[in-house]
């Protein structure tokens, strides 16, 4: 069994975490895959895919950490052609994909784990690819 799905996401802020766990779970369920691997990836260069806890304070802290590590108002070479070097650099830290095992038809995630699409240069229309490999 193989399945490819594309998820559309409309973000509403410059930076935000969008919980896509339920949508990924629905794709896994629809695929009827019992055992395999689910790969969640994005083709954008100013977004990330991460797994962590969906708690309001923590989501603020994650964005705050990215702002502290990579401030927007620093001098970056990329800003000579575009004005979003900080967005690209923050995306580099997060990575663009996550892979999660599927067992017994379910994603193997911990109780407090959620899958997030992280917007770093919004608001925009974005896409996330979900590929399922298994049987």
Residues that bind Zn ion (CB under 5 A): 82, 84
Query: For 51, left (φ over 0), alpha (ψ -120 to 50), or beta?
Result: beta
Nearer to Zn ion, 76 or 109 (CB): 76
Nearer to Zn ion, 44 or 131 (CB): 44
Q: Is 84 exposed, middle or buried (0-12, 13-18, 19+ CB in 10 A)?
A: middle
Nearer to Zn ion, 17 or 121 (CB): 121
CB atoms within 10 A of CB 14: 14
The minimum distance between CB 89 and Zn ion, in angstroms, equals 10
The minimum distance between CB 63 and Zn ion, in angstroms, equals 19
């Amino acid at each position: 069994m193989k399945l490819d799905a594309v998820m559309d996401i409309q973000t509403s802020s410059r930076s935000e975490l969008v919980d896509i766990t339920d949508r990924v779970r629905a794709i896994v369920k629809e695929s009827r895959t019992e055992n395999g691997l689910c790969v969640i990836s994005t083709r954008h260069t100013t977004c990330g895919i991460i797994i962590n806890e969906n708690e309001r304070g923590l989501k603020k802290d994650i964005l705050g950490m990215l702002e502290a590590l990579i401030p927007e108002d620093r001098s970056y070479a990329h800003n000579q052609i575009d004005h979003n070097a900080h967005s690209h650099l923050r995306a580099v830290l997060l990575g663009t994909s996550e892979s999660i095992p599927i067992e017994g038809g379910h994603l193997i995630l911990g109780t407090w784990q959620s899958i997030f699409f992280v917007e770093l240069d919004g608001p925009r229309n974005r896409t996330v690819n979900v590929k399922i490999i298994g049987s």
